[in-house]
Amino acid sequence: MPPLPISIFFITKNEADRLPAALAAIRGLSDDVVVVDSGSDDATREVARAGGARVLVNAPFPGYGPQKRFAEDACTHTWLLNLDADEVVTPQLVDEIRALFASGMPAADGYEIAIVDVFPGEARPAPLAYRLTPVRLYRRDRGRYVESTVHDRVAFDGKASIARLKGIVHHHSIRSLGEQLTKLNAYSIMQARDFVDRGRRLPRIRVFTEFPMAFFKAWFGRRLFLRGAYGFLVAMNYAMFRHMRVMRIYETERGLIKGRQPHR
């Protein structure tokens, strides 16, 4: 089948192990696949080129929003599909996207796509697995990623029509629980810095309630109680991430982190 008039872009760092599956799943869907790397020290860039992608380097990492906007600017088509290196598009979603363009340009300005967690050792998502439904397929002349360094969402100009696709993306976000916690720790630093820089204040009650409330949210709200012991450990990691973020905000507001002044 001929490629569609869409550009597909990824942002990466040290994703040589997961990127091949992501690229293989969208092979032939586009003639413009862009990988923006932020300084990998593994074979990510070589893997991307071998998979048919055009590789650009933008380092050091400027944050999620700015990096995705950099990638948007590098794309050639009006319609964009954004994926992460740990996300594998299902054949059903590929067929659905092709059907959207079968009679010309799609009717909506953007399309939400379900991103569904797949844990290590699983071949497919478990029943009732947690999912997010962000806009991932969209017109670049109607919407762009926001400039926030920690929040990566597409914002649209004016009133845009948004639809939702039925196909899903398999999200292989966890290599191991230890690696996940390391990643979440780094993310907590970015989020805490963003929180303080925007002049927000932390209600002190959250120092005491953040961990149990975050665990409750993950265990029940994200239905991890259905995933057994592994689900419990993932919920604990999520709660620890939220705890670390609050801990860092608290220390910054008290002036306990070098280089930061306490709020008056």
pLDDT digits (tens, 9 = 90+) for 154-167: 999 888 999 999 99
Give domain limits for the chain: 4-171, 177-253
**Residue reference for tokens 């991890």:** 224
pLDDT for 198 equals 87
pLDDT for 126 equals 93
CA–CA distance, 194 with 188 (Å, rounded to integer): 10
pLDDT for 240 equals 98
CA–CA distance, 185 with 172 (Å, rounded to integer): 19
40 and 12 Cβ atoms separated by less than 8 Å:
yes
- Predicted TM-score of the model (pTM): 0.92
pLDDT digits (tens, 9 = 90+) for 3-61: 999 999 999 999 999 999 999 999 999 999 999 999 999 999 999 999 999 999 999 99
**Residue reference for tokens 């009006």:** 78
**Least reliable range by pLDDT among 34-43, 150-159, 234-243, 251-260:** 251-260
CA–CA distance, 35 with 20 (Å, rounded to integer): 12
20 and 47 Cβ atoms separated by less than 8 Å:
yes
CA–CA distance, 100 with 217 (Å, rounded to integer): 36
CATH class of 4-171: alpha beta
For 50: left if phi > 0, alpha if psi spans -120 to 50, otherwise beta; the answer is alpha
* pLDDT(260) > 90: no
pLDDT for 92 equals 98
CA–CA distance, 110 with 121 (Å, rounded to integer): 33
Report the half-sphere exposure of 241 (CA within 13 A, side-chain side).
Answer: 24
* pLDDT(62) > 90: yes
Q: H-type helices in the chain, by residue range?
A: 19-25, 44-50, 64-74, 91-100, 177-197, 205-216, 228-253
CB contact set of 234 (below 8 Å; sequence gap of 6+): 119, 174, 177, 180, 218, 224, 227
* pLDDT(172) > 90: yes
Q: Closest Cα to residue 8, out of 88, 118, 91, 124?
A: 88
| Residues β-bridged to residue 12 | 37
pLDDT digits (tens, 9 = 90+) for 71-101: 999 999 999 999 999 999 999 999 999 999 9
pLDDT for 207 equals 96
CA–CA distance, 246 with 230 (Å, rounded to integer): 25
pLDDT digits (tens, 9 = 90+) for 193-232: 989 988 999 999 999 999 999 999 999 999 999 999 999 9
* pLDDT(261) > 60: no
